[in-house]
Structure 1
């Protein structure tokens, strides 16, 4: 009966939870992300773990990043980057409702693994006007979220829609669907350029989940 009384320690439970999260992020990146990037994502989404800790778990799980050959082009070239302008420039107080929307995707950990929450916020009211929760981060889900926001607000389009530079927001599918809107993008490595919705996502994970 000894094994019936045994309970894993909190440290072991935490490590197993983190391990599942790491494997999920690793697979979602097509096995490209290493410990630095995965540690960054974990931190962003409220799961503690320094790079060395993540590395030790990846080693334990026998997973390591695949490195792209030099000749393979990345999804977003430097030329495309120059076309992505930050029109918002941290002006988070528009004068009219539904004139500026911002959107973002975040990870949420569940007992069955990660799910992805896509949200659209009206910067004037700070209200979430559309959201979708899915098991993947396809561009189609982002577009679905935007369409939901349009229907709820009874408008054809906002004047400006702001996002980060994730592949979902720089895809041709996204550009075609948002034609007629002014697309604004955060600068590289500047989550503060999309601070309002980033803060909202952090808040719900910190206080509500």
Structure 2
């Protein structure tokens, strides 16, 4: 059970939330690395594809199974719409190749 409480946040003249001293405003926007939709999707997939289907006797057993699922299936093989239908591992590999600069040798 969770409880949610509405809070009135003072607004600046521009309409954005006025940050209190020591509090940084949110930097997240849809489609940025700060957007947690991908993280929420990951945990929903993990729960549906793995956790709802079995029971674990111990925490270490659960940790081993979750690790094996992530490293053996989720990262190398499962395709994601946020990654142009590529697996996370393939997406990272392609991004790394884009950032490789050819080695230039002095003449």
TM-score (norm: length of structure 1): 0.19
> Which one scores higher on RCO, CA 8 angstroms, separation ≥ 6?
1
Rg larger in structure: 2
